[in-house]
Structure 1
Amino acid sequence: MYIYNVTSNVDEAINEEWLTWMQTEHIPQMLATGKFSNARLTKVMVEEEMGGVTYSVQYVTDSKATLDEYFAQEAGLMQQAVVKKYGSRVVSFRTELELLSDH
Structure 2
Amino acid sequence: MYIYNETTNVDETIHTQWLHWMKSKHIPAMLATGKFTTAKMVQVLIDEEMGGVTYAVQYTTENMQTLEEYYKTDAPKLQQEAFLLFGEKAVSFRTELKIISEQFSVSINN
What TM-score, normalized by structure 1, do the two folds share?
0.98
More helix by share: 1
Report what 2:36 is aligned to.
36
How far apart, in 2, do the equivalents of 1:4 and 1:80 lie? Answer: 18
Superposition pairs of residues 35-74 of structure 1, within 5 angstroms? 35-74=35-74
Report what 1:85 is aligned to.
85
Q: Deviations over 1:20-72 (max 9, x none)?
A: 11000000000000000010000000000000000000010011110011011
The CA deviation at 1:10 is 0.1
The CA deviation at 1:4 is 0.4
Which structure 1 residue ranges, 5 or more long, are not aligned? none
What TM-score, normalized by structure 2, do the two folds share?
0.92
Which structure 2 residue ranges, 5 or more long, are not aligned? 104-110
CA RMSD of the aligned region, Å? 0.5
Report what 2:108 is aligned to.
none
The CA deviation at 1:83 is 0.3
Give, as a single letter, the amino acid of the residue that structure 1 aligns with 2:102. D
Matched, 1:19 2:19: yes
Identity of aligned residues (%): 53
Give, as a single letter, the amino acid of the residue that structure 1 aligns with 2:61. T
Q: Secondary structure at the match of 1:55?
A: strand
Give, as a single letter, the amino acid of the residue that structure 2 aligns with 1:71. Y
Structure 1 segments, 4+ long, off by >2 Å, are none
Number of aligned positions between the proteins: 103
Larger radius of gyration: 2
